[in-house]
């Protein structure tokens, strides 16, 4: 029996890195995982790993910028489970590093669409599901704002955190509980884009950070 037995855990950005490892860990702890990601192959790999761990997941191949798709997802969750106990938001678009004056329009627009606008729409749609179960939302933070060349990523991640911080302040006394969590550096695809050639032996692993995160949630 796990501490999350019977709980519904929604993971956005579940097909790789921290989201992937966290989905497995939560399923191992007894949660019913709703895994959202853009790639069917990544979701199928996650499903195999969760089954091997003795857990169960519902796979949702979905781009979080698809408002209609998000509405269908949240309605299905409401109809099937009545709400969500935990939402972990780790979906992100990592634009290439570039000087402020040279960020491409497409990269900036996509960063805003995924990291900021989609996050706000998710908050609006998931909040009632969390309230129904007295649930918790967790924003995965990565403070890079103001660092050279991190223009699109750092700026939109900071804006994303501002959204969640504002939401946390608004719901502090009425719920849902809203938290931010910053894992240690991991050898993820996102980090590899920013630190090519980095010595990965000095980094933590996604599995280790997922375990630390779940232990933090238990407190």
Between strands 86-89 and 56-61, the pairing is unpaired
How many whole angstroms from its chain centre is CA 189?
15
- β-strand partners of 60: 36
Q: What is the pLDDT of residues 71-90, one digit of tens each?
A: 999 999 999 999 999 999 99
Q: Which CATH code for domain 8-218?
A: 3.40.50.720
User: Which token pair is 29?
Assistant: 């702890």
pLDDT over 90 for what percent of the chain? 89
CA atoms of 159 and 156, how far apart (whole Å): 5
CA atoms of 28 and 42, how far apart (whole Å): 18
* Residue 2: per-residue pLDDT: 66
Residue 210 CB burial class (10 angstroms; 0-12, 13-18, ≥19): buried
* Residue 193: per-residue pLDDT: 86
Enumerate residues 6+ apart whose C-beta is below 8 A from 193. 94, 96, 97
* Residue 189: per-residue pLDDT: 85
Delimit the domains of the chain by residue range.
8-218
Q: What is the pLDDT of residues 162-183, one digit of tens each?
A: 999 999 999 999 999 999 999 9
* Residue 163: per-residue pLDDT: 98
CA atoms of 84 and 1, how far apart (whole Å): 20
Q: What is the pLDDT of residues 34-48, one digit of tens each?
A: 999 999 999 999 999
């Amino acid at each position: 029996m796990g501490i999350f037995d019977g709980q519904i855990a929604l993971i956005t950005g579940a097909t790789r890195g921290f989201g992937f490892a966290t989905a497995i860990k939560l399923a191992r702890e007894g949660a019913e995982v709703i895994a959202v990601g853009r790639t069917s192959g990544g979701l199928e790999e996650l499903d195999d790993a969760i089954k091997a761990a003795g857990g169960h997941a519902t796979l949702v191949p979905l781009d979080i910028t698809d408002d209609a798709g998000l509405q269908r997802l949240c309605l299905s969750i409401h109809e099937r489970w009545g709400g969500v106990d935990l939402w972990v938001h780790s979906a992100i678009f990592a634009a290439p590093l570039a000087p402020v004056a040279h960020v491409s329009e497409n990269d900036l627009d996509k960063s805003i669409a995924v990291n900021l606008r989609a996050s706000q729409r998710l908050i609006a749609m998931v909040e009632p599901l969390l309230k129904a179960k007295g649930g918790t939302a967790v924003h995965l933070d990565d403070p890079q704002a103001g660092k050279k060349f991190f223009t699109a990523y750092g700026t939109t991640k900071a804006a994303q955190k501002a959204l969640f911080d504002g939401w946390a302040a608004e719901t502090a006394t009425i719920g849902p509980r809203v938290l931010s969590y910053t894992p240690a550096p991991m050898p993820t695809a996102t980090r590899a884009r920013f630190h090519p050639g980095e010595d990965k032996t000095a980094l933590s692993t996604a599995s280790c950070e997922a375990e630390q995160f779940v232990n933090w949630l238990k407190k």
